[in-house]
Amino acid sequence: MESDTPTPGNETDDGNETNEQTTGESSDAPQYAPNELSEDAKAKSGARADVNLDLVLDIPVDVSLRVGSTDISIRDLVSLVEGSVIALDQDAGEPMDVLVNGTLIAHGEIVVVDEQYGVRLTDVVTPVERIEQLH
């Protein structure tokens, strides 16, 4: 026995297919405008303040400084000996890049603390800048 009520994938009384069949989208899926997504993310980030960060605070991370870099040919590489000097692309007065697990998080300058090297942060990269680096 056939039902008179159209169901997804069936035709309506006027012979047209239902909206779900023609668009390929389900009407049950929530639809968001881009500005609603950013507002929703802001609301959720406020809710995340209640998360217990003690679970991750003791996880070790690798902190390193990038002094500079350069490109050299393999011919020049294999000719390096003790005492060779490699010129880098960074000026002596420029701040060093401070990396955490390979991600730039700040800039700083090298200092000596109790006969060991350290770094004084001069500029911390904002989360927005970190995201822009991914592109």
> How far is residue 61's CA from residue 88's CA, in Å, rounded to a whole number?
26
> What's the pLDDT score for residue 90?
87
- Look up residue 65 and give its two tokens: 């400084």
**Average of per-residue pLDDT values in the chain:** 76
Burial zone of 95 (CB within 10 Å; 0-12 exposed, 13-18 middle, 19+ buried)? middle
Main-chain dihedrals φ then ψ at residue 57, nearest 5 degrees? -65, -25
CATH of 59-133 given 3.20.180.10, 2.30.330.10, 3.30.70.1400, 3.40.50.2300: 2.30.330.10
Residue 98, number of CB atoms within 10 A of its CB: 21
**All structural domains of the chain with their residue ranges:** 59-133
What pLDDT, in 10s, does the model give residues 72-115?
999 999 999 999 999 999 888 899 999 999 889 999 999 999 99
> How far is residue 118's CA from residue 5's CA, in Å, rounded to a whole number?
75
